[in-house]
Structure 1
Amino acid sequence: MPVAVGSRIAFTARFLGRRLAYTYEVTAYEPGRRLVMQTSSGPFPMETTYTWEPYGEHGDHTRMTLRNRGEPRGFASLAAPAMAVAMRRAQSKDLARLKALLERNT
Structure 2
Amino acid sequence: MVDVLTEIKILCSADKVSEYAANPDNAPDWYVNIHSAEWQTQKPLAIGSRIAFKAQFLGRHLAYVYEIAEFRQGQKMLMRTADGPFPMETTYTWEAIDDNMTHMTLRNKGNPKGFSKAFAPFMSMMMKRANMKDLRKLKSIFEKNV
Report the TM-score, using the length of structure 1 for normalisation: 0.90
State the alpha-carbon separation in 1 of the partners of residues 61 and 132 from structure 2.
Answer: 18
1:53 and 2:127 matched: no
Count of residues in correspondence between the two structures: 104
* One-letter amino acid matched to 2:119: A
Alignment of 1:47-86 (within 5 A): 47-56=89-98, 59-86=99-126
Q: Which runs of 5+ in 1 are unaligned?
A: none
Cα deviation per residue 1:60-96 (whole Å; 9 max; x = unaligned)?
Answer: 3111111111000111111111111111111111111
Cα deviation per residue 1:2-31 (whole Å; 9 max; x = unaligned)?
Answer: 110000011222111111111000001110
* One-letter amino acid matched to 2:72: E
SS of the residue corresponding to residue 68 of structure 1 reads strand
Percent of aligned pairs sharing the same letter: 54
Q: Which runs of 5+ in 2 are unaligned?
A: 1-42
SS of the residue corresponding to residue 79 of structure 1 reads helix
Runs of 4+ in 1 over 3 A off after TM superposition: none
- Please provide the CA RMSD for this pair: 1.4
Task: Determine which structure has greater relative contact order: mean sequence separation of CA pairs < 8 Å that are 6+ residues apart, divided by chain length.
Answer: 2
Report the TM-score, using the length of structure 2 for normalisation: 0.67
